Structures are given as C-alpha cells and as structure tokens.
Amino acid sequence: MRTAILTAATAAALLAHGALPAAGAQEPDATEPTVPLVQTVGCVERDGDAWFLTRATDPRVTQYPFPSAVELEDAGRAALGSNRLQLVGVTDFLDAEGLLGSFQRAQHTAPESVNATGALAEGRRVAVKGLYITSVEPHRVNLTSAISVADTCG
C-alpha cells in the first residue's frame, strides 16, 4: 500500500511540473527526436579548451549519423556560412596527443591503443554531424562524426 501511495504522489508531482501529460492532453510524437540530428560544414577553431565550428553553414536535419561520399563531396564545395557552433564530444576526433590530454584519458588509455581520427585541427574545413543543441548559446553540436574535407578553410 505504501508503494502505491508513493507512486500516486510521484505521479501527481510529475503532472504538476508538466513532466506527464494531463488527462486528455495530446502526447508528444515518440517517432520524432526531441534533439535533431544535423549536418553542417565549417572551419575548426579552438578557444581554450573549447572547440568551435566557425563560418558554419546552417545546420540541416539529416537521417544518418555519418556522411555519405556524396555528402562529403558537397561539403568540400559548399559556400561557408556565418554560424558559430560549439562542438562537444570532440575527444575522439582530436589527434592522439589531444585525446590523451583531454580530461583524464591518459590515465585510462594506453598511447598505443588510442583511437582518434585527428579530423579536428585548427583552421581545417570539416563536415560534421551530430545532435543539435539549441537550448544554450552558442548552439552546440554533439558530434557523431567529423571528417576533414580540406586542410585549410580558405
């Protein structure tokens, strides 16, 4: 009985804070993601410990977390934009030294077992895909892929 009371009390609290739909309210579409997967192209910039994609194209919703060969060709030719997006989840896209220098990775990763792509380097033009986070400024892209399409961003 105590469990049922706690469950009812918890449900009432969640309902009051909008975490549960009210009776008769339409439930959100569970087939649509709440954070969209996007793709964009831009120039890699580092500011202290933070990484950014500058001169980035407008993020476009995409279905797949990794780019196709055609998407990479298009990214190499795309006119750059005016967006500045913070990149998060960058560690696996740095070089080996960058990965081992991030957080406490060197304590848990042997140098010979580093799996880092090296795609993120300052001044490089990259095509990225990831989860688009717009609830903070600057907007962020939590990376699922980052692939260099040019060594410079000229």
What is the predicted pLDDT for the residue at 140? 96
Which range of residues forms the domain containing residue 48? 28-150
Q: Which residue has the tokens 């996007």?
A: 38
Confirm whether 78 is domain-assigned. yes
pLDDT in tens, 16-61: 444 445 556 566 666 776 899 999 999 999 998 899 999 999 999 9
pLDDT in tens, 118-153: 788 899 999 999 999 999 999 999 999 999 999 998
What is the predicted pLDDT for the residue at 91? 77
Q: Domain tally for the chain? A: 1
Confirm whether 5 is domain-assigned. no
Confirm whether 2 is domain-assigned. no
Q: What is the pTM of this model?
A: 0.71
For strands 125-133 and 83-88, give the pairing.
unpaired
What is the predicted pLDDT for the residue at 9? 45
CATH value at residue 65: 2.40.50
| Arithmetic mean of pLDDT, 64-72 | 92
What is the predicted pLDDT for the residue at 105? 62
- At 2, the pLDDT band (50, 70, 90 cuts) reads very low
Confirm whether 12 is domain-assigned. no
CA-based torsion, 77, 78, 84, 89: positive or negative: negative
Residues 95, 46: Cα–Cα separation, whole Å: 14
CA distances (Å), 112 to each of 37, 93, 96, 97, 106, in order?
32, 16, 9, 11, 11
Confirm whether 11 is domain-assigned. no
Confirm whether 22 is domain-assigned. no
What is the predicted pLDDT for the residue at 16? 44
What is the predicted pLDDT for the residue at 3? 38
Confirm whether 119 is domain-assigned. yes
pLDDT in tens, 70-81: 999 999 999 999
Confirm whether 18 is domain-assigned. no
